[in-house]
Amino acid sequence: MGIKKGQLVELSVDSTAFKGKGVARYNGQAVFVPNTAPGDVVEAMIVKKKKRYLEAKVISILKPSPLRKKPLCPHSEVCGGCTWQHIPYPEQLTFKEQHVRDQIERIAGLPGSIVRPIIGCENEFYYRNKMEYSFGTRRWLTEKEIRSDEYIDDTAFSAGLHAPGRYDKILNLDECHLQHPISFRILDFVRSYCIKNNIPAYDTNLKKGFIRHLVVRNSHHTDDLMVNLVTFEDDPEAMEVLTDHLLNEFPEITTIVNNINDQTNPTAIGRYEKILFGPGTITDHIGNFSFKIHANAFFQTNTRQAEVLYNVARSYSLGTNNRQLFDLYCGVGTLTLYLADAFDRVTGIELVDIAIKNARFNARDNNVPNVDFVHGDMKDTFNVEFLSEYGLPDCIITDPPRSGMHPDVVKQLSNLEVSRLVYVSCNPSTLARDLHILKTYYHIEEVQPVDMFPQTYHIEAVAKCIRKNNN
């Protein structure tokens, strides 16, 4: 008789999967169980049945793993932001390195020995320079409340993070340890202020309300601190009063902006923006370069570890000839500028228009004359005409989104006679998928994992690829 959804089973967790879930076996079939650690014996409920695997949730821990530790944050098991707080950081690093090695072997078909020992993060907590909080009218219930036979009212002004997989419910945070402690203090203050002054949160179902998001950005290398209040309506008087209260309570704040998102989309990016206090930007540094960061601009979330990642990419990019470098998916040009002094000419390519504008500004602001930035979709822009104008580079760095490179871009890179290719990835599975194709043309020398996000399953990796006909 087959297993049924809702059935309770006893499981022994023996490993971890890429998304941080523990892996157990039931009658030979893989079962993925969140919030577990290798060595746990748990009672779990089957919540999903697939052809090749099952998914379950923990009901109780019958025998805790020797690896298990008490999480610093009480929200860790339900928040989704820190799925590995119950695992000591050294073991987190071990699992992440193994995940990269597994993907390289299984998907790319390359030897796991090319994966180097992972580079860990100096700070296990308080390493983020940006946190995006949400406000809502319905809070996520605790596990105890969900199991209760009594009716529990979930309608309440809530501020925190979206419950995993739910756009309409907010986990009402009591604490958070990812960003500098002042970040949560600001969230708590704004929440209390709104409740006291009857300022409604935006209701995603009714499409009405006022305050939608709070985004806090702090600089690692300066004292700059930005508060970005995202609202559904433009109310200058209400924002002026709230700004005065924030500055009175937190004199550390150097700028406050108001993004007005009067659309139904759930993003924290407004249709337009107003500067309420200060310059509207903060300044941070990566290496010797300074960057002015706008409220909606992308910037590496872990500043200190970004320098570690960039140093790996830099070392992989250098060779006998360092005349020209292409930086694909260059964003606001942080890595492009970081490598500019090592090459005669560097060209960045990026699809997002505002990112290109920021990149050009950053180049001017840092007095870097030997960089160009080109706006366009990689699969369309990076072509024969582009190469005839800019020439063939000695090295290409590609840093695509989590989905990896478009197949047309992989094909273009495979056909180019470029001696060195450096692939920076935030997703080992798509990295391995693309390396599987590129390995026909490139010798994949090594892959270096770098941990940018402790307490999570996320992992960055950099691959060094040398053209085979140049060996």
Query: How confident is the model at residue 169, as a pLDDT?
Result: 78
Distance of alpha carbon 395 from alpha carbon 18, whole angstroms: 30
* The token pair that represents 32 in the structure block: 């993925």
- Kindly tell me if the per-residue pLDDT of 14 is higher than 80: yes
E strands in 219-357: 225-231, 255-260, 272-277, 281-286, 289-294, 324-328, 345-350
Q: How confident is the model at residue 373 (pLDDT cuts 50, 70, 90)?
A: very high
Q: Is residue 181 part of a domain?
A: yes
Annotated catalytic residue 426: yes
In sequence order, what are the beta bridge partners of 228? 215, 257
**For residue 151, what pLDDT is reported?**
59
Domain-embedded: residue 3 = no
Nearest to 165 by CA among 6, 299, 54, 57: 57
Q: How confident is the model at residue 411 (pLDDT cuts 50, 70, 90)?
A: confident
Residues 400 and 268 occupy one common structural domain? no
Please state, in angstroms and rounded to a whole number, the distance separating the CA atoms of residues 27 and 7: 14
Shared domain check, 416 and 276: no
Render pLDDT for 277-325 as a digit per residue (tens, 0 to 9): 999 999 999 999 999 899 988 889 999 999 999 999 999 999 888 999 9
Type of residue numbered 199: I
Q: Could you count the other beta carbons within 10 Å of the beta carbon of residue 205?
A: 10
Residue 25 lies in a domain: yes
Q: Which of 244, 267, 294 is the last residue of a domain?
A: 294
158 and 271 inside one domain? yes
Mean pLDDT for 225-242 is 97
In this prediction, residue 384 carries a pLDDT of: 80
User: What is d(CA 100, CA 426) in angstroms, rounded to the nearest whole number?
Assistant: 11
**Residues 140-177 pLDDT 10s:** 666 666 666 665 556 789 998 887 666 667 888 999 99
Cα–Cα distance between 204 and 207 in angstroms, integer? 5
Q: Which residue has the higher pLDDT, 413 or 442?
A: 442
Q: Kind of pairing, strands 53-63 and 29-33?
A: parallel
Residue 280 shares a structural domain with residue 141:
yes
User: What is the spatial distance between Cα 347 and Cα 333, in angstroms, rounded to a whole number?
Assistant: 10
Mean pLDDT is lowest, of 31-45, 116-130, 145-159, 397-411, for 145-159
Q: What is the maximum span of the chain, computed from C-alpha positions, in angstroms?
A: 72
Please check whether residues 392 and 453 belong to one and the same domain. Answer: yes
Count up the domains in the chain and report the number: 3
Which one of 121, 194, 426, 465 is the catalytic residue? 426
Total length of the chain = 471
pLDDT in tens, 32-86: 999 999 999 999 999 999 888 999 999 999 999 999 999 999 888 888 788 899 9
pLDDT at 471: 46
Q: In what order do the strands lie in the sheet with 22-26?
A: 8-12, 41-49, 53-63, 29-33, 22-26, 15-16
75 found inside a domain: no
Sheet (strand 345-350) strand order: 371-375, 345-350, 324-328, 395-398, 420-425, 460-467, 442-450
* 446: CATH: 3.40.50.150
pLDDT digits 0-9 by tens, 443-456:
999 999 999 999 99
pLDDT band at 209 (very low <50, low <70, confident <90, very high): very high
Decide if pLDDT at 1 tops 70. no
Comparing CA positions, the residue from 124, 304, 275, 293 lying closest to residue 224 is 293
With beta carbons less than 8 A apart as the criterion, state whether 208 and 186 touch.
no
Question: What pLDDT was estimated at residue 166?
Answer: 66
Mean pLDDT for the stretch of residues 97-111:
96
The predicted structure's pLDDT at residue 412: 84
Q: Do residues 307 and 448 share a domain? A: yes
Task: Flag whether 142 is in a domain.
Answer: yes
pLDDT of 332 strictly over 60:
yes
- Residue of higher predicted confidence among 379 and 349: 349
The DSSP string of 137-187 is: EEBPPPHHHHH-SS----EEEEEEEEPTT-SS-EEE-S---SB-HHHHHHH
Q: Are residues 149 and 174 in the same domain?
A: yes
Residue 110 has pLDDT above 70, yes or no: yes
| 158 and 274 fall within a common domain | yes
Nearest C-alpha neighbor of 286 from the set 313, 308, 316: 308
For the chain, what is the mean pLDDT?
Answer: 91
Say if residue 432's pLDDT is above 90. yes
Residue 409 sits in which domain range?
93-123+302-470
pTM for the full predicted model: 0.90
The mean-pLDDT minimum among 122-126, 158-162, 268-272 falls in 158-162
Q: Is the pLDDT of residue 199 over 70?
A: yes
pLDDT exceeds cutoff 50 at 410: yes
Does residue 59 belong to any structural domain of this protein?
Answer: yes
Exposed, middle or buried, 459 (CB in 10 Å: 0-12/13-18/19+)? buried
Return phi, psi of residue 351, to 5°.
Answer: -80, -35
Q: Is the pLDDT of residue 208 over 90?
A: yes
